[in-house]
Each structure stands twice: as structure tokens, then as C-alpha cells.
Structure 1
Amino acid sequence: MKIEHVLAGFVPESRGKDGLALAVLLARQTGARLTVAYVHTPAWTTPGPGRIDAEWRAYVTAEAARTLEQARLLLADVRDLPIDYVLDGNRGSGRGLVQLAGRTRADVVVIGPAPGGVRGRIRLGSTADQLLHASPVPVALAPRGYGGEHPPEIRRLTVAYRRDPASDQAVLEAATLAARMGVPLRLITLVVHSGQQARMDEETLNRLRETVTADLRAAARGHGRLEVAVEVLEGRNVATALGGTDCEGVMLICASSETGPLRRVFVGDISSKIIRSASCPVMMLPRNPPKKPGIIGKQGKL
């Protein structure tokens, strides 16, 4: 994965600051340029009687410009990055960001959480939903409060791994990005034993642990001098499993569901649970054809 252009979607609330903080860290550590965009609802363009429509369009344009000025003020102290500011009209903010990503050739889109979420967690709203089912480039989501309590840098990339082609490709992409950022890589697999799995005997559970550990170790090989750690996380649900690992200074990377369209981000059930349960930023990768043969086999646990 090569990141040379980061597109940050901004909203005039504290959650807009959360997305900006993550976008700045990503741009700074990858040497990318940053574009901050505010996608606003466009004014009605059909001419009407008198000057009412013209005045309304002027009002909408002025309000959008004032909103984008808030982003400029928030980033006034960021002097080490080239930053562009863009306004765009679209009835769907997520769809607008997808189109902007294409027009500006952005390599990743970054947004903050939807309103009303728990501090330290990611809440998905309509903007994220549109992006997570249509974006042709990775989508990075910041948790609530990240703008005020984010680490000085991203210290490690972590890939949520399962043994399938999409995850193998995600490991390759993440390894490239980790090397570019100069940070270590960690591969994790979640073993969630609830419902019927909760009644598994210890011997069966141990065999499962051995299998997923072997899968992780195989996926961790062949990345040159990059430091790659592996970890199996267990719990009765995704949240408790993720709670058993250190997420300080981490960005979690997930592959799209294999059932989604090629070259688009598509979130499946497990990925959605990971996004909502993670206490760190999460980046979802679009589903792309593998660049080279990976570790192909029957699906493991995630």
C-alpha cells in the first residue's frame, strides 16, 4: 500500500477534529500531502422567482466556506505538511467523498465517528456506511475523542487476519505501509467461542488455537527485515477478544468481505463488529485481486 495523498472528510463538530488528527498522523508518517474536504448539501439550482434562490445559494456557499475555515484554524499549527482545502456539494457526504477521492486521486479517505458514540470507540453513521460500501480506496476511521487524546504518532500497524486470499493481500499491503512508515507489524486472529463454540472441549479448542497460530506464523514470514509479531486473541465476543491486546498507538487494518465487489470497500458482519469494538483507528481496505499467490486454504477464525 502506497499513501501519497490523504483525503480527510471534515464536519463542523468535535468529531471532525478526530478525523483531522488521524489524517495528519497518516500524512506526516507516510510523507503524503493532505486534502481537507467539506461535503455540503448543494443549494437548489433550478431558477425560481425573484432573487430568493440566488440569495439561498449565496448563503449555502458562505456557510460551507465558514465551516471549512474551522478546519483551517484547527490545523493552523501544522506547518510541516502541504494541505489543500476543498468544498464540494453532494446530497450524500459519503458519496461526495468517494467522488472526490476519484477526482483528486487520493490514496485513502479519513473520517471521524458519527455523533453520539462512546468515547474511545468508532460509531458508524451514514457517511461511513456510504464509504464502507463504495470507496475504491482504503477508508480510515478515527474513534471519538481521538482529536484530543491521540498519540504523537502511529507506533504499530495491526492486521485482523483470517486465512483467506483477502487477508493475505491485506498483510502484503500492510507490510508495505509499515515499512514505509518505519513501524512494526502485528497480525492478530480472534477466536470467539460463544454459543456452540462455548461448549467445545478443551482439546478441540487447543487444536483450533494451534491451527490459527500456525496460520499467523505462516502469514508473518517473508517480509524482509520488517518486524512482524503474531497474537491469538480469545473472548466470548469480538469486544472482549480485542480488549485483551494493547491498542495504544495502533492502527488496525481489516480486509473487506470476500462477498463484496472488486476494487471497493465492503464491510461484512465480523469487520463491522471489529470496527465498533476497537479502541483505536481502523482502516478498511478495498477488495482487490491478489498481486501474487498467498497462503490459500480453508477459512479460519477471525
Structure 2
Amino acid sequence: MKIEHILAGFIPEQRGRDGLALATRMARQTGARLTVAHIHAPAWPIPGPGKIDAEWRAYVAGQAAETLEQARKALTDVTDVPIEYVFRGHRGSGRGLVQLIGMIKADVVVIGSAPGGGRGRIRIGSTADQLLHASPVPVALAPRGYADEPPSRLRRLTMAYRRDPASDEAVRQAFTLAAQMDVPLRLITLVVSGGRQEKVEEEMLDRFREKVAADLRAAARGRRRVEVEVRVLEGRNVAAALAGTDCEGSIVVCASSETGPLRRVFLGDVSLKIIRSAPCPVMMLPRNPPRKPGSPRKPEKP
């Protein structure tokens, strides 16, 4: 995975500014260009009498232009990233962004958290839900309030890892992105007890920890271009396990569910819990078919 073009969905609210803050930091560290998009309500499918339809179209276009002007003002100080502004009509904002991804050939789409969630946390609304079940490219979600005190730069990628073909392919993508962004990569596996530790023999837990740590070391082996750290995080639930690591200045990267469609982001139960619990941005990768052993890698764009 190499990021050359970032799509940021924008609305004139806190979540829109949060998404822009994350998108611009990603663009700076990857050298990517940025497209800021506003998805507005479509015009009436059936023309109205007289000039009503034309007036409505003009009104919608004017409102969209005003929204993008607010995005421009928010990015006044961003002079080191090529930025384009577009608007498009669609009944669903997430589906509209999915269509736009294909039209502009974006490599990742970025949005903010839906309103109503806690500060520093991500809440999934209708836009995120549509993207997390249909996007053909990674989806990055900024937590609420991210734009208020954003880090000067992203300092680390944290990959939530489990031993399966989907995660193995996602780790390869995460290493490529970490190298592009010039940041270290941390591989983590969450050991969740569910509050039933008294029912599990400590010896069994020790063997499981050793197996998980071995899997993480195997996934990191041979990746000399990137500084790699491996950690096993334990807790009675996902939130408690994630609390055991420093996520400041980081993005948590997750693989899509193995049961989802190929080349689409698809949200599984564990990934959903990570999104809701992580105190930092989260990026969901689409499920790509795993590379067969011995098969050549697909060449990256120069």
C-alpha cells in the first residue's frame, strides 16, 4: 500500500475539521496530494414546474461552495500540500464518497467521528458505516476533538495483529506505509480475558502469550527498513487492553474481517471494538486476497 492521493470528506462541523487535521498530517508525511470533498443532497430526480428545479440546483450548489470555502479557510496555513476541492450530490454521504474514490483514484479516505461520542474517541455514524462496509481503499477515522490539539506529526503506526491470512497481508501493507511515512511500526495482539481469568489456568495463559509473541516476531522478521516493536496487551476487554499502550501521535491499523468481500473494507466484531476504544485515529484496511507463497509481489507505483 502506497498513499499518493488522499480523499477527505468534509462538513462544516467539528468532525469535518477533525478529518481535515488527520488528512493533512497524513498527506505531509506521505507526500500525497489531498482532495477535500463535500457530499450534498442530490437535486430532485424529477424536474419541478417552471424554474423551481433550476433554482433548487443553484441553491444546493451555492451551499456546497460555501461549505468548501470553510474548508479552505480551515486549511489556510497548509501550504505544503497540493489541495483540490470538489462537491458531489448523493443520497448517502458514505456511498457518495465511495463513488468519488473511483472517480479520482484515491488511495485512502479520511473522515471524522460522528457526533455524540466521547472526546478523544470515535463514534460510527451512517457515513462511516457505509464506508466501513463498501470502501475499496483504507478508511481512516479521526477521533472527536482531534483538530483541537493535533500532533505536529504522526510518530508511529500501531498494527492490531492476529495470526491469519488477512492480517499477514495487512502487515505487509502496514510495513510499506510505515516506510513511506518514515515512522516505526508497533505490532500488537490483544489478549482479552472477558473477566474470566479465574477460570483459565495460568500455565495455559503463559503458553498463549508465548505463542502470540512468537507470531508477532515472525511477522516482523526481515523488515529492515522499518523500526519494529512487538507487544502483547492484556485486559478484561479491548478498551482495557488498549489502555496498556501509548497511542499518542499514533494511528491504529486494523485488517478487515476475513468474512467480508475481497477488495472492500468490512468491519468485524474485534475491529469495531478497537475503533470504539482507541484514543487515537484508526485506519481500516480492505480485505485483499493473500499473496501465495513464492508468488511475486505486485510492483508499487514509482
Q: Is TM > 0.5 for Structure 1 vs Structure 2? A: yes
Say if 2:11 is the partner of 1:11: yes
Question: Secondary structure at 1:147's aligned position in 2?
Answer: coil
Aligned length: 294
- Larger mean CA deviation between 205-214 and 91-100 belongs to 205-214
Give the Cα–Cα distance (whole angstroms) in 2 for the partners of residues 144 and 278 of structure 1.
12
Deviations 1:117-156 (A, max 9, x none): 1000001000000000000000000000101111011100
TM-score by length of 1: 0.95
Name the residue aligned to 1:194.
194
* Residues 166/57 of structure 1: CA separation in 2 closer, same or farther (3 Å cut): same
**Residue aligning to 2:31:** 31
Q: Does 1:136 align with 2:136?
A: yes
Q: CA deviation at 1:52?
A: 2.1
Q: How much has 1:291 moved relative to structure 2? A: 2.9
1:226 Cα deviation from its structure 2 partner: 1.5
Offset at residue 166 of structure 1 (A): 0.7
Aligned to 1:271: 271
Q: CA deviation at 1:23?
A: 0.3
Structure 1 runs not aligned, ≥5 long: 295-302
Question: 1-side partners of 2:185 and 2:107: how far apart?
Answer: 20
Give the Å deviation of 1:292.
Answer: 4.5
Q: CA deviation at 1:186?
A: 0.6
Mapping 1:107-122, distance limit 5 Å = 107-122=107-122
Which residue number corresponds to residue 161 of structure 1? 161
User: Secondary structure of the equivalent of 1:18?
Assistant: helix
Alpha carbons of structure 1 residues 245 and 57: separation in structure 2 relative to 1, 3 Å: same
Structure 1 match to 2:297: none
What SS class does the counterpart of residue 148 from structure 1 fall into? Answer: coil
Give the residue type in structure 1 aligned to 2:154: I
State the shift of 1:54 in Å: 1.9
2:68 alignment counterpart? 68
Residue 152 of structure 1 corresponds to 152
Residue 268 of structure 1, CA deviation: 0.4
**CA apart distance, 1:196:** 4.9
Please tell me the residue identity of whatever aligns with 2:85: Y
Once the two structures are TM-superposed, the CA of residue 59 in structure 1 deviates from its matched residue by: 1.1
Would the alpha carbon gap of residues 134 and 203 (structure 1) be closer, same or farther in structure 2, given more than 3 Å must change?
same
Give structure 2 stretches of 5+ with no counterpart: 295-302
Aligned residue for 1:212? 212
Alignment of 1:291 onto 2:299: no
Task: Give the aligned partner of residue 299 of structure 1.
Answer: none
SS at match of 1:37: strand
Give a deviation string over 1:77-114, Cα, whole Å, max 9, x none: 11111000000000000000001000100000000000
Report matched runs for 1:249-260 at 5 Å: 249-260=249-260
Give the match for residue 300 of structure 1. none
Structure 1 stretch 77-86 or stretch 191-200: which is displaced more?
191-200
CA drift of 1:208 comes to 1.0
Post-superposition shift, 1:51?
Answer: 2.1
TM-score by length of 2: 0.95
Does residue 1:103 correspond to 2:103, yes or no? yes
Distance (whole Å) between structure 1 residues aligned to residue 244 and residue 171 of structure 2: 21
Q: Secondary structure at the match of 2:272?
A: helix
Mean CA deviation greater in 46-55 or 195-204: 195-204
Which SS does the other structure have where 2:147 is aligned?
Answer: helix
